Structure 1
């Protein structure tokens, strides 16, 4: 979160974590 203030207000950050390819886990989305 240290770099967060330096991004423009309309910046979209995307991160993908795939602990198991082909797993039946549900997707999660977070908006801050």
Structure 2
């Protein structure tokens, strides 16, 4: 039995830290480029 709402919630819970990690990495790349 497949529960789409449960999987969406799990994906959101997983993608939140992943997106913040990508944001941190992109900011680090910008600061490295500026130096």
Relative to the length of structure 2, the TM-score reads 0.14
Larger-Rg structure: 2
Relative to the length of structure 1, the TM-score reads 0.14
Structure with the higher fraction of residues in helix conformation: 2
